Amino acid sequence: MNNNKQTLAIDKLATLPLDHNWYQKLAFNFEIIQSYLDKLDTVELEVDSLKNKFGDMSEKLNIYETNMQAIVNILAKYDVPIQIVNGKVVEIEEGE
């Protein structure tokens, strides 16, 4: 966002005469507000995009972990000495 602080003319509403200059200042207020609303819309779109990406990655990780566990379970049925430790498939000693 813009680091330049812009003040709104509304703060001086009680002391301003209602002439053309006042209406120009009021219109400028809406220009200031609109620029920030536009930036907010952009930020919201970026946040939504990141949420979607995170959801996709989370789902893929879930599938990967489920598949890895299924492989370990199948191999364990055939007495292959492996297990998952800290997210990695490792060979274990017989009897562990």
What does the block give as tokens for 10? 């509304």
Q: What is the pLDDT of residue 14?
A: 59
Domain borders along the chain are 9-91
Burial (0-12, 13-18, 19+ Cβ within 10 Å), 32: middle
Classify strands 82-85 and 88-91 as parallel, antiparallel or unpaired: antiparallel
Taking the complete model, does pTM exceed 0.85, yes or no? Answer: no
How far apart, in whole angstroms, are the C-alpha atoms of residue 12 and residue 23? 13
How far apart, in whole angstroms, are the C-alpha atoms of residue 32 and residue 11? 14
Give the residue with greater pLDDT, 36 vs 3: 36
Q: What is the pLDDT of residue 73?
A: 84
